[in-house]
Structure 1
């Protein structure tokens, strides 16, 4: 059973998040602020920390920064209330692995937490004593299957760990960026899902009808031959990852404006924010059908 340390000063929100997490089988320990969270971490280590951003004594931003500095193997996920979007951006820049809007807890919390924990476990496959992998490169092509994304992401994280470049926090954050890029490429590039559709929202929430409808859509003749390609290359000074799709949909957008409350409620905008916040350089090209992400090793 994976363990989670939850830092949240609101008893109502803490009870809700604890209930959601425990429903997925996690062991959850709750504290009221960042100071108590750090004291707890000094005594025992969970698999992941979930934290609110606005808390007394030591806020979520300060907690994320302290964890990134002292416990680089320990991923953090921040939860954000409407109106604190800029804090979420800052938390991602500071070291958080992902974020979940509070109005999307039922839909996203367990999904994000599970993905992040599995990436952390994948990162630990290569411990000390292994000779480092030198300049790995590979290209993978996947069909329009959301379930195919995570195995690719875990392979990316394991490969990065095998090179010895960067610390676990950075490698997990790269995994988050790759997941978001591939999800956007499949859903909005190849399958051309629109904001007005509830399909992706239902799928992310684990609704079986959403899973079924996504598979049916991907099998339609106009979408079936479309694919997503990932090119991965680790050099001496940086890691470069290219994700491209063969569909007609756009994986970038200008509205709603990035960082606004409205943008946090759309999965495509959320994914784009993760890309730009977690990677050092993000380049969109080829008519917005391709994104190149760069992460420096220093």
Structure 2
């Protein structure tokens, strides 16, 4: 049976929402009078969906949503907002709420809104169950030295992880940032052999030289080779360039405060911060990035 938790400090409003939802025989409806009580009840009642007022004492609706996104992201959230709370409702929707119902429209639209959100949640869970049974997904790509292609590659990876792992927006962006840095390093420093020292001295000269080499031999013929291996628990990204490589041990320590604002080594710092493991081959022209799936 589907469980719905209704959270509202107004007894009248809470009973109205509960009464409407309880008319559906396949739904079990429970109540909480504030955000703190709601958080305490979650482990006990295991709700599929929370219908919550935005304006609550203690933990308000927005804070309740933020807490759920961190620890119970699978639970859908439908917001109830009084007139004048529209801007907060928009912020909550951007944070991850499933839908929004103005309080004045609760009698006419709440049940149908909840029905649509539950259908979406159930479909997402079915897809997640299917992806958990995936054995292994392998993809290979060969790319030219084109920044637009590299950015498209990063977005593709993010989409794949969102689809396969239901990865949230923050984790997708962190993963995408690490991959972008690895791809850009393969192009600029690997294939085009433009040094970070030049970028540190003169940004315009760095990009001008890169553009010149991108359209000239022998650099124009060099490619970036990508292989991805994805299973339900781990993602592996192998990125290799046609350059002569470098000594990975020559990189400065990017965590040294003196190096944090320098372009040299910044990409490697981000890769190591956002991935679980980053390793280079002995010649330095191939990097392998791994990240494990964090299941909520």
Which band: TM-score by shorter chain?
A: 0.5 to 0.7
Judge conservation of contact 1:68–1:169 (CA < 8 Å) in 2. no
Deviation at 1:232, TM superposition (A): 1.0
Pick the aligned partner of 1:222 from 200, 212, 218: 218
Pick 1 or 2: higher relative contact order, CA cutoff 8 A, min separation 6: 1
Structure 1 counterpart SS, 2:198: coil
Assess, with a 3 A threshold, how the Cα gap between structure 1 residues 263 and 214 changes in structure 2: closer, same or farther.
Answer: same
Judge conservation of contact 1:145–1:215 (CA < 8 Å) in 2. no
TM superposition outliers: structure 1 runs of 4+ over 6 Å: 70-73
Alignment of structure 1 residues 166-185 onto 2, 5 Å: 166-185=167-186
Q: What is the rounded CA distance, in whole Å, between the counterparts of 2:217 and 2:203 in structure 1?
A: 23
Deviation at 1:42, TM superposition (A): 3.9
Alignment of structure 1 residues 75-90 onto 2, 5 Å: none
Assess, with a 3 A threshold, how the Cα gap between structure 1 residues 251 and 215 changes in structure 2: closer, same or farther.
Answer: farther
Assess, with a 3 A threshold, how the Cα gap between structure 1 residues 44 and 202 changes in structure 2: closer, same or farther.
Answer: farther
What is the aligned partner in structure 1 of residue 18 from structure 2?
A: none
What is the aligned partner in structure 1 of residue 114 from structure 2?
A: none
Judge conservation of contact 2:198–2:206 (CA < 8 Å) in 1. no
Question: So what's the TM-score if we normalise by structure 2?
Answer: 0.52
Question: Any idea what the Cα deviations from partners look like across 1:113-157, whole Å, max 9, x if unmatched?
Answer: xxxxxxx9xxxxxx8535355332211111112222110000000
What is the aligned partner in structure 2 of residue 139 from structure 1?
A: 140
Question: So what's the TM-score if we normalise by structure 1?
Answer: 0.52
Deviation at 1:250, TM superposition (A): 2.3
Question: Any idea what the Cα deviations from partners look like across 1:158-213, whole Å, max 9, x if unmatched?
Answer: 0111113544433322111111111111111111112332399636xxxxx86554
What is the aligned partner in structure 1 of residue 265 from structure 2?
A: 269
Alignment of structure 1 residues 30-45 onto 2, 5 Å: 42=63
In angstroms, what is the RMSD of aligned CA positions?
Answer: 3.6
What is the aligned partner in structure 2 of residue 196 from structure 1?
A: 197
Structure 1 counterpart SS, 2:259: helix
What is the aligned partner in structure 1 of residue 159 from structure 2?
A: 158
Deviation at 1:240, TM superposition (A): 0.7
Q: What is the rounded CA distance, in whole Å, between the counterparts of 1:190 and 1:243 in structure 2?
A: 12
Q: What is the rounded CA distance, in whole Å, between the counterparts of 1:69 and 1:145 in structure 2?
A: 36
Structure 1 counterpart SS, 2:250: coil
Pick the aligned partner of 1:242 from 219, 238, 241: 238
Assess, with a 3 A threshold, how the Cα gap between structure 1 residues 268 and 249 changes in structure 2: closer, same or farther.
Answer: farther
Q: What is the rounded CA distance, in whole Å, between the counterparts of 1:287 and 1:164 in structure 2?
A: 33
What is the aligned partner in structure 1 of residue 91 from structure 2?
A: none
Deviation at 1:279, TM superposition (A): 1.0
Structure 1 counterpart SS, 2:197: coil
What is the aligned partner in structure 1 of residue 101 from structure 2?
A: none
Assess, with a 3 A threshold, how the Cα gap between structure 1 residues 43 and 232 changes in structure 2: closer, same or farther.
Answer: same
Judge conservation of contact 1:188–1:251 (CA < 8 Å) in 2. no
Assess, with a 3 A threshold, how the Cα gap between structure 1 residues 211 and 197 changes in structure 2: closer, same or farther.
Answer: closer
Q: What is the rounded CA distance, in whole Å, between the counterparts of 1:283 and 1:67 in structure 2?
A: 35
Structure 2 counterpart SS, 1:259: coil
What is the aligned partner in structure 2 of residue 15 from structure 1?
A: none
Q: What is the rounded CA distance, in whole Å, between the counterparts of 1:179 and 1:69 in structure 2?
A: 25
Judge conservation of contact 2:245–2:283 (CA < 8 Å) in 1. no
Structure 2 residues not aligned, in runs of 5+: 1-58, 75-94, 96-119
